Amino acid sequence: MNIAAHVLLVALPVFLYVAWRDRRLPSARLMGLAFLASQFPDFVDKPLAHLFFLIPSGCVFLHSLPFALPIVLAVVCLAVKTNRTRSGMTFAFGYLSHIAIDSLWAVTSSQPRLPSDLFWPFLSPVQRPVVPTWVGPGLVVLKLWTVYSVLMLAAMLYLLANEFPGECRQASTN
């Protein structure tokens, strides 16, 4: 779980695209959405796996393509229907980039092929310790991560549910 790498590899392309396309800096809301989308799978999977033990690993469920693709499709369709295409595409890019980055790290670090986590529940997940080393003694870090995850998921829902004034105004004038 490398938060900075996920954020940089999502936020930088979003920032550069908007700056190039619109000749202005992206809104703080769009960059916030890029940040949140880049962490989205970890916000859900880590607590479900390591605190509640509902899934076999912190790298399955929302890290898995059978779940990720329908979610991305639904968000993009809703975004297009509500004239928030840039927001929907930012979410899709951030979410799918997270999965791609995790898979790339898995391929380069321990195995020469895509991890089976990508196709869970159709394939068994990669075996990992039940409690990873980063959670700390007494699960303190995991409990803090869970609180942080809930707050960030609420922020993402807020950003996705509310209109982005600049983007909607621009769509209505075209």
pLDDT tens figures, 161-174: 775 444 444 444 44
Segment holding 123, helix H or strand E:
none
Segment holding 146, helix H or strand E:
helix 140-161
In which band, very low, low, confident or very high, does the pLDDT at 112 lie, cut at 50, 70 and 90? low
Note the pLDDT tens digit of each residue in 31-81: 888 888 998 898 888 888 877 888 887 788 888 999 999 999 999 998 899
Q: Are 167 and 83 in contact (CB under 8 A)?
A: yes
In which band, very low, low, confident or very high, does the pLDDT at 106 lie, cut at 50, 70 and 90? low
Ranking 8-12, 99-103, 132-136 by mean pLDDT, the lowest is 132-136
CB neighbour list of residue 49: distance below 8 Å, 6 or more residues apart: 55, 56, 57, 58, 60, 61
Query: Number of structural domains, the chain?
Result: 1
In which band, very low, low, confident or very high, does the pLDDT at 111 lie, cut at 50, 70 and 90? low
Quote the pTM value: 0.77
Domain of residue 42, residue span: 3-173
